[in-house]
Amino acid sequence: MVASVIGLWIMGPMQTRWLAGWKDSGTKPAIYHCVSRVVDRRLVFGPDERERFRTCMRMYEAFSGCRVLAYCVMSNHFHILLEVPPMPAGGLSDEEFARRLGALYGPGEVREVMEGVRDLRARGLENEAAAAMERHTYRMHDLSEFMKGLLVRFTMWFNRRHGREGTLWERRFKSVIVESGTAARTMAAYIDLNPVRAGMVGDPADYRWSSCGEAVGGGPRGSGRMAREGLVRALRSADGVGFEAKHWPEVAKDYRAIMGRALERKPGRSTGAESAGESGKSGESFGGEPESGELETERSLARMLTRRVRYFTDGAVIGSRAFVDAVFRESRERFGAKRKDGARKMRGAGAPAAGTLWSLRDLRKDVGDP
């Protein structure tokens, strides 16, 4: 196992996954961009399937304590920008534990588990009571367990609905560690622009199965609130802002600016479906030009978002040069003696980010696919 900054999760022969070694420390966010595709890349997700996938995602979010910062469910794949916070230092209270269980199980099952835990405690069997809770809590605050639970539950539903058997996903999901700040907000916008890149909509706010569409059209409560909290965190986590929907108005303005640069929009409303904003007024859309004095680096980052950037799915770690180099130093034994540093300049479709965002992997093929 590597040192403190990075962990390595062995998935199977020739398959590895980078994990943030600080994930249990609480010193900085452990954020991952996760992607999985349907076997043979078949276009099998219609509106009902996308809606059900989002429902499963929100269920596992509530159960696990992991938080979705941004997401997009497409016709044959999905993207999730996921923050995996550490388990609370003192563990979960009984009330929080029961609430988490209630996200996946019915009232009768939750009651049975809680009565069993309390009975063990009443008999002085504290270790046994803790073990009974651990049978559920081991799946919480964990990237692999979140993704496993989500994919398995959705596959079971999909197979029942379509009368099929077997795996739905072509391989184990991909994940990339994402630094908070510039990398996280760029990745969130990249995810929300998926349906625009695919030619499905002209404005990301018009695609309902995404964090952008849900945040704009979902209203101030329920799923709309969750989507807004996630995007607030994606854009403001480096400033110490949590999942606070009250910051949505200013974050939405910044997010619209990023989208406007990417789509080369002029100020004003874009065409598309009417959407409800925080105030309840319709027409909150993602257009607009950079404000005067905007840094050229921000424009460059935005310009690459309408193309496929393979580094964002295969780069292992994405962030500032210092961030990626820190990962490399703490896992030096994983690399050959000739490699002197970790950060690799992005090329091809990722070239506009060169000097701002860096990758741990130096990709040599298909880096410029549109």
DSSP-derived pairing of the beta strands 31-37 and 77-83: antiparallel
Cβ-Cβ contacts under 8 Å for 292 (sequence gap 6 or more) = none
C-alpha span between 26 and 183 (Å, rounded): 19
Domains of the chain by residue range: 94-137, 202-306
Give the pLDDT score at 271.
Answer: 39
Three-state SS string across 198-243, please? CCCCCCHHHCCCEHHHHHHHCCCCHHHHHHHHHHHHHHHHHHCCCC
DSSP-derived pairing of the beta strands 317-319 and 174-178: parallel
The residues pairing with 73 across neighbouring beta strands, listed in sequence order, are 78
User: Residue 20 has what DSSP assignment?
Assistant: E
Tokens describing residue 177 = 């560690």
Q: In this structure, are residues 33 and 178 in contact, taking their beta carbons and an 8 Å threshold? A: yes
The residues pairing with 300 across neighbouring beta strands, listed in sequence order, are none
C-alpha span between 304 and 224 (Å, rounded): 28
Q: List per-residue pLDDT tens for the chain, 370 residues long.
A: 333 334 443 333 334 567 887 888 888 899 999 999 999 889 999 999 999 999 999 999 999 999 999 999 999 999 999 999 999 988 999 999 999 999 999 999 999 999 999 999 999 999 999 999 999 999 999 999 999 999 999 999 999 999 999 999 988 899 999 999 999 999 999 999 999 999 999 999 999 999 999 999 876 566 789 999 999 999 999 999 999 999 999 999 999 999 999 998 754 444 344 333 333 333 445 554 444 434 577 778 888 998 999 999 999 999 999 999 998 888 888 888 888 889 999 999 999 999 999 999 998 765 544 3
The residues pairing with 67 across neighbouring beta strands, listed in sequence order, are 83
Q: In this structure, are residues 31 and 177 in contact, taking their beta carbons and an 8 Å threshold? A: yes
Place of tokens 């896992």: 331
C-alpha span between 254 and 262 (Å, rounded): 13
Q: In this structure, are residues 310 and 363 in contact, taking their beta carbons and an 8 Å threshold? A: yes
Nearest to 82 by CA among 11, 184, 225: 184
Cβ-Cβ contacts under 8 Å for 34 (sequence gap 6 or more) = 79, 80, 81, 82, 143, 147, 173, 174, 175
C-alpha span between 360 and 342 (Å, rounded): 6
Tokens describing residue 34 = 């996760």
Give the pLDDT score at 163.
Answer: 95
Give the pLDDT score at 26.
Answer: 80
Tokens describing residue 321 = 């040069």
Give the pLDDT score at 220.
Answer: 59
Cβ-Cβ contacts under 8 Å for 128 (sequence gap 6 or more) = 120
Q: In this structure, are residues 293 and 336 in contact, taking their beta carbons and an 8 Å threshold? A: no
C-alpha span between 252 and 274 (Å, rounded): 16
User: Residue 38 has what DSSP assignment?
Assistant: B
Measured CA to CA in angstroms, residue 108 lies from 122, 139, 283 at distances of: 21, 20, 44
Cβ-Cβ contacts under 8 Å for 162 (sequence gap 6 or more) = 44
Three-state secondary structure call for residue 57:
helix
Nearest to 187 by CA among 172, 201, 176, 200: 176
